[in-house]
Every structure is written in structure tokens, then in C-alpha cells.
Amino acid sequence: MSDPEYDLIAIGGGFAGLTAAARAQDLGLKCLVLERDSEDRYLCNSRITSGVFHVASNDVRLGPEDLAPAIEKETAGYAKPELVQTIAVNAARTVEWLRGAGVKFVAKGVGYVNMRQHMVLAPPRRMRAGLDWEGRGGDFTLRALEAFLIKYGGAVDRGAEVTRLLMEDGRCIGAEVKAGGKLKEITARAVVIADGGFQANPEMLRGSVTGAPDRVRLRATPSGTGDGIRMAQDVGAAVTALGDFYGHLLSATAMTNEALWPYPNIDIVAVAGVMVDGNGRRFVDESRGGVFLSNAVAKLDDPLSATLVMTKKIWDEIGTDGIAPPNPLMVKHGGTLIEAPDLGALAAAIQVPADALKTTLDGYNQAFHSGNLGTLSPQRDGGRHQAYPVEEGPYCAIRLCAGVTNTMGGIEIDQHCRVLGKDGAPIAGLYAAGSSTGGLEGGPNVGYVGGLVKAFVFGMVAGEHIAGEIDA
């Protein structure tokens, strides 16, 4: 190959791609970000994020001796050890580099479990129903990273759709790009795939995340179509299991009501109540949290058959807690809260067999009072969320849908974010970062480490390794 046009090309203008390019440009490389969307403030998950920067719900500023065990616990040992270390060792210094690049953070209480303090991208999102991104943390951060990249000589090409990777003698040497209706080839010493997951691609979701992609809610922008994963596979990259995703439970009304996503989610009351399927039977351990529950709902034969059952007391007391409480935001913005004075009326309202629902709740309440929730099937193992009895009316119910924010599986990478081939060896010149990668999250626990930390840390590590390889 003749002298390449760039040292680094990043595919995708989200946090991962911009961080990889900006960090490498900071180290003296010549970098280009290729963004498929042509809008100035193109929509991607990074732009609409709530901005919470954490590592498995822990403060990113903790040391690796604290963060590595937290990741291992959250993922039940599923995460690749080398990726665990990559996140744990680099999380805190990533914050410091980002600050130097113009990104702003605030320390803020987040969540409804002791309102833990986390780093949050500033200006923080106003936690209210619907989308609220303009000028907020994600939007500000993308513009700050782009400005930093351009200030030091880098570039962002909008309206540039990458169609395939260019390979020569087993090495990635650039990308074919469609822009203005024409194809062109752009060469580079290294390419970073950073265009996100495949949550907006129904055919990739089908059979892995869900059997009915038309019956789950895309809780994200439509940009995540899995093109980077596909292109990596085309050149021999290995890919992890693709069946898990990060998301939250939403009111089923969110399927048609834009004001009900990404917030409010229903997690806070779902973990306190009882979730039943279309037959009136429990199908999941409610104590496992919203991400786990969303995956369980998505994998039902009919993902829209799930209903949360609770008491009015749970709705009135627990439902008003947290940073964007479903009570009153869900009802205020068009979500349906079903109310009934007794179980018979509730069963009729949610259209499940009354005898089955009574059997389910009787067994649940008996196990609760005897302290034997672990004997239920499925068990409720008393995890991070407290159980409550669901035995006295009036009752409430919410029809549920799974809100899919971003997929967890993807391209296999090593600790330097180099893409691995099916033989386990790195594909020369090819890297991946952010939600296009796998191996960190998911598994039997559907462990969630954090979308932002995955994007920023992997992007920074990829940019630094490319710079080191070129300087070597």
C-alpha cells in the first residue's frame, strides 16, 4: 500500500469513535471520523444519553482493586478478564483526559438505591418524560470532542456511509465510503469500528435478542444497525453471543406514544411487584433488576403479553421514588395504569385467567411471609431489590414492553481493542470500540457494566494503542 491518507479512521461519530480519533489526534496522528448521518447534530445514542458515567454502578474514580471485582460480580464472571482490567485500570484517567478535551462532569445522585453519587455528563439531562437532549450532557460532549479533534487538525465527514473494509495481505488498510451517491476508497494505517450495536436492525434482533422484534420498543435512535459488526465478520472477525441487551421496562403504550421513552421507565415498581405472562403466571425473578427483566420480557413468545401486578400502595409509595418516577410521569404523558378493587376484577382487566392469577399471587405471598421466596419457580432470590407482598387491594397493573437501548454482544476484541479473528489472533490494523464490541457485558446475569464507560475507555485505549504502534 502506498502512503495512507490517514493514520486512523473511526467509523461512527458517537462517543467511542470521536474519543478514539480525538485521543490519537492529541498524540500527533492524522485522524478522520466518518459519520453516516449528514445532519449537523446527527442523532445517535451518545447524543440522547442520560449521561451517567459509572462502572457496574460504581464510581468511575475508584481504583482497579475496587472496579475489577465489581465488574466480575455484575457479570457473574462472564466478562473477559483482559477487558475487565482494561476498564478498571483506565476508567479514572479517562475522566481526566475527557476533562482536558473540554468535556464537563458533575457529581450527582443517580438511581433509587441510596441515590448513589456518580459522574454525570454536564449539563445534566433534565429527568422528565420523553427525549430531552438539546444542549444537555451527551449533545454537549459530542460537540466538545469534535471541536477538540478539529482544533488539533482532525476532521469529521458527515454523510459518509462506510460500505466495506479494505484489506490487503490480511491487514485492514481503510474503508470504502459512499458519499454524495458516489463510492470512494479512503486509506488508513488503522480503522476503528465504532458505529454502535444492532438494536435498530430487526433482522439481527430476530432469533437472538427476541423472536418478535416488532413487539419490542426501540429505546434508542435508529442509527444502531450493526453495520460495523457485519463488516468485521466479512473480513473474518470473531463475534460473541449476540442475545443480550441493555434496556428498561416501559409501559406498553410506549410502542405508539413517543412521550413515554426513554423515560419514564417502569423498573422501580416492577422490582417491587409481580410480573406475569399472558397466562397469569410468573416467568422471571423480579429482584434481578430492570435490565434483566427487560431481556426476559423480550424473550417471551409474545413480548407484549407481560403485565406488572402490584398494590396501589406500591404504586403510590415506591412509584414516586427515583430520578424520573413513573408516578406521575407515566400517566401524565399517556401511559395506562390499570386499577381494580379485587383480584377478580384485576384478572378481567388484564385478560388473564382469574384462577391462575390467584394461584400465582397466593403462592408468592405465602413465600414472602414465610421467608421462602427462593423456593418459588422461578425463584425470587432476594437480590438487590426488596420484595413486597401483593395481597391486599386495591390493585394496580401496567402492561409492559421491553425497551431496547443497545445490544451487548458484538465484535471480539483484546485488551488493546484490536479486533480478533476466528483464530483468536488480532486482525492487523483493525480495532473496535463501544457498543459494536462484545465480551464485556451480558451472559447469564445479563450483566451491565456501563455504555458510556465502554465507549469512552475503549475509544481512548484504541486511539492510544494505534498511536503507539505507529510510533514504534
How far apart, in whole angstroms, are the C-alpha atoms of residue 8 and residue 29?
Answer: 7
How far apart, in whole angstroms, are the C-alpha atoms of residue 354 and residue 339?
Answer: 15
Phi/psi-derived region of residue 365, left when phi > 0, alpha when psi is between -120 and 50, beta in every other case: alpha
Query: Confidence class of residue 113 from pLDDT cuts 50, 70 and 90?
Result: very low
Q: What is the mean pLDDT of residues 151-156?
A: 98
> Is the separation of the CB atoms in 287 and 271 below 8 Å?
yes
What pLDDT score does 271 carry? 97
Indicate whether 158 pLDDT > 70.
yes
Least confident interval from 98-102, 248-252, 319-323: 319-323
How far apart, in whole angstroms, are the C-alpha atoms of residue 91 and residue 60?
Answer: 6
Indicate whether 257 pLDDT > 90.
yes
Q: What is the mean pLDDT of residues 219-242?
A: 97
What pLDDT score does 380 carry? 94
In order of their start, the domains of the chain are 6-242+408-471 (3.50.50.60), 247-404 (3.90.700.10)
SS percent in the chain: helix, strand, coil, step 5? 35, 25, 40
Indicate whether 117 pLDDT > 80.
no
Indicate whether 388 pLDDT > 90.
yes
Indicate whether 48 pLDDT > 90.
yes
The set of long-range contacts for 146-149, using a CB threshold of 8 Å and a minimum separation of 24, is 146/13, 146/18, 146/33, 147/102, 148/22, 148/26, 148/101, 148/102, 149/18, 149/21, 149/22, 149/25, 149/31, 149/33
Least confident interval from 125-134, 194-203, 211-220, 334-343: 125-134
Query: In a 3-state reduction of DSSP, which class is residue 237?
Result: strand
Indicate whether 441 pLDDT > 80.
yes
Q: What is the mean pLDDT of residues 82-111?
A: 92
Q: Which residue has better confidence, 275 or 129?
A: 275
Query: Confidence class of residue 273 from pLDDT cuts 50, 70 and 90?
Result: very high
Mean of pLDDT over the chain: 95
Pairing assessment for the beta strands 245-251 and 418-420 based on DSSP bridges: unpaired
Which tens digits make up the pLDDT trace of 49-66? Answer: 999 999 999 999 999 999
173's grid cell: 488498510
* DSSP class per residue in 182-226: EEEEEEEEEEEE-S--STT-HHHHBTTTBS-GGGSEE-S-TT---
Query: Confidence class of residue 114 from pLDDT cuts 50, 70 and 90?
Result: very low
CA 124 to each of CA 16, 104, 116, 136, 462: distance values in angstroms, whole numbers, following the listed order:
20, 10, 16, 6, 27
What pLDDT score does 132 carry? 87
Strand boundaries in 382-461, DSSP class E: 395-407, 418-420, 426-432
Indicate whether 200 pLDDT > 70.
yes
Which tens digits make up the pLDDT trace of 128-152? Answer: 888 889 999 999 999 999 999 999 9
What pLDDT score does 112 carry? 45
Indicate whether 157 pLDDT > 90.
yes
Query: Confidence class of residue 115 from pLDDT cuts 50, 70 and 90?
Result: very low
Q: What is the mean pLDDT of residues 262-290?
A: 97
The residue among 98, 7, 2, 154 whose CA lies nearest residue 471 is 7
Query: Percent of the chain, pLDDT > 90?
Result: 92
Q: What is the mean pLDDT of residues 394-422?
A: 98
